[in-house]
Structure 1
């Protein structure tokens, strides 16, 4: 089963995604609450998939995506954004993210994005 790194500065949202992934049979191998930790954990854990929040302290998700893609051009990253951040979502995709999901998370949409990115 694929393993996942969940990156979000809100614990509740990390827990929500974690539940969705575990229920679907994925292994959550790590959680980070900012972009700096996300990059370090990616390099250490080499997850099959990353869910990345856009707005976080220390380093935002877009910058973290760029750093991860520099390290591993084949990284599979799904951006997470609140509604109304379309401009940032476009920037995230241009930075190398493969798909995006909006908050609050819809389980079916999360799993659809994951399936799309892991194909």
Structure 2
């Protein structure tokens, strides 16, 4: 069973992702509310992959990806972005993210993205 960390400052978004993944057999091992929290939880939990929101307070998703990838080069991270954040998504991919999901997202897109990992 794949172990997942969900990082998003919006509880509603974490819940949506959690519900979709749990329904398809993934284990949610932790949730983070910002980039700093995501890095700390990654260190503690070492999940199989992370869904990382791009825009979060304190430390954004791109900086969190850079930090996690520096510490764990094999980390698998999927970015979650709002419409119109294409340049940020490209920054995230360059920082080491494997894929991205655009909000509002659908179940198929999330499953397709995680299955590529």
Give the TM-score of the pair, scaled to structure 1. Answer: 0.97
Do residues 67 (structure 1) and 67 (structure 2) align?
yes
Query: Which residue is equivalent to 1:2?
Result: 2
> 2:31: which partner in 1?
31
Asked if residue 110 in structure 1 is aligned to residue 117 in structure 2, the reply is no
Q: Which residue of structure 2 lines up, in the alignment, with residue 79 of structure 1?
A: 79
Number of equivalences: 117
Partners in 1 of 2:105 and 2:32 — Cα distance? 18
For structure 2, list consecutive stretches of 5 or more residues without a partner in the other structure: none
Secondary structure (helix, strand or coil) at the match of 1:105 reads coil
Q: Tell me what 1:49 maps to.
A: 49
Structure 1 residue 105: deviation in Å?
1.6
TM-score under structure 2 normalisation?
Answer: 0.99
RMSD: 0.4
What per-residue deviation string (whole Å, max 9, x for no partner) do you get for residues 27-73 of structure 1? 00000010000000000000001000000000000000000001100
Q: Which runs of 5+ in 1 are unaligned?
A: none
